[in-house]
């Protein structure tokens, strides 16, 4: 599989384990329509069991799992086989999220497997030191978010965002930076991208919103709007 190219600013909808089955599919379809309408690359994370179905029923989303294992075809009971993900339509995986930490050695091996299979890697770090260590492995995307902000509705402040962007890019210039901590409004989305993030996104800020579909729509619109403004400025 050839690895998909990501065009920033991108967006990431990460429902974690908040949504599954029909509800996940419904939000995915909304995200899919938005990806098409605004020509924005949208990562959409799924429960493994929903991957095939959501991949079948959407066209533009980057179907993303929340972890995958260092496993080869063969024995290995109950782990996540990368080849099986690809066969189901998965194109990207998160790795080393604070809620699913990965060993250094495993991370190297899983990223090698992802490379072989054309799976995009979104690697997470929760300190600048950790971000720089992982950046040496040149993941496609890095998430730099202080663990203590996850799920609080408080964005990383602008200076932290700038600092982490630079820390990652200085080690791995081609790695895109996703700033997704505490994003719960279109305004947070704007701030993240204006602070230099290549992408942004959310979990509870979307799925726990009064109207998740509407919130998602406003966020993706904002990504597109900031993108236009930035292009204008560059002229």
Rounded (5°) CA angle 187-211-67: 80
- Under rule CB under 8 A, residue 144 binds a second copy: no
Provide, rounded to whole angstroms, the least separation between the CB of residue 180 and a second copy: 12
Alpha carbon distance 209, 191 (integer Å):
19
Give me the active site residues, please. 97, 145
Q: Which residues does 141 contact at the CB level (< 8 Å), separation at least 6?
A: 6, 120, 121, 122, 123, 175, 176, 177, 178, 198, 199
Query: According to the binding rule CB under 8 A, does residue 98 interact with a second copy?
Result: yes
Q: Are strands 92-95 and 62-65 parallel, antiparallel or unpaired?
A: parallel
Interface segment toward a second copy; rule CB under 8 A; list 33-41, 123-131, 184-192, 212-220: 123-131
- Is there binding between residue 22 and a second copy (CB under 8 A)? yes
Q: Using the rule CB under 8 A, is 149 a contact of a second copy? A: no
State yes or no: residue 33 binds a second copy (CB under 8 A): no
* Dihedral angle, C-alpha 177, 235, 216, 153, nearest 10 °: 50
> Does 224 sit near a second copy (CB under 8 A)?
no
Q: Contact between 226 and a second copy (CB under 8 A)?
A: no
∠ Cα 151 62 230 (to 5°): 75
**Binding footprint of a second copy on the chain (CB under 8 A):** 14, 16-18, 20-22, 24, 47-53, 65-67, 71-81, 83-85, 87-88, 90, 94, 96-108, 112, 125-127, 129-130, 132-134, 136-137, 151, 171, 203-204
């Amino acid at each position: 599989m050839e690895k998909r190219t990501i065009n920033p600013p991108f967006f990431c909808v990460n429902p974690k384990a908040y949504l599954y089955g029909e509800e996940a599919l419904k939000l995915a379809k909304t995200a899919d329509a938005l990806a098409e309408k605004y020509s924005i690359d949208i990562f959409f994370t799924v429960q493994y069991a929903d991957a095939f179905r959501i991949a079948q029923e959407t066209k533009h989303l980057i179907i993303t799992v929340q972890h995958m294992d260092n496993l080869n075809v063969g024995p290995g009971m109950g782990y996540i086989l990368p080849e099986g993900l690809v066969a189901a339509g998965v194109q990207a995986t998160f790795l080393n999220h604070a809620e699913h930490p990965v060993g250094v050695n495993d991370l190297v091996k899983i990223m090698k497997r992802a490379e072989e299979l054309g799976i995009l890697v979104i690697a997470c770090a929760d300190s600048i030191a950790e971000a720089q260590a992982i950046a040496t492995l040149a993941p496609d995307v890095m998430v730099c978010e202080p663990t203590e902000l996850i799920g609080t509705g408080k964005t990383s402040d602008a200076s932290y965002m700038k600092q982490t962007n630079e820390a990652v890019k200085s080690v791995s210039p081609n790695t895109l930076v996703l700033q997704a901590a505490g994003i719960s409004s279109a305004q947070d989305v704007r701030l993240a991208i204006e602070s230099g993030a290549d992408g942004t996104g959310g979990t509870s800020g979307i799925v726990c919103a009064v109207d998740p579909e509407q919130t998602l729509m406003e966020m993706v619109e904002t990504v597109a709007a900031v993108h236009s403004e930035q292009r204008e400025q560059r002229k």
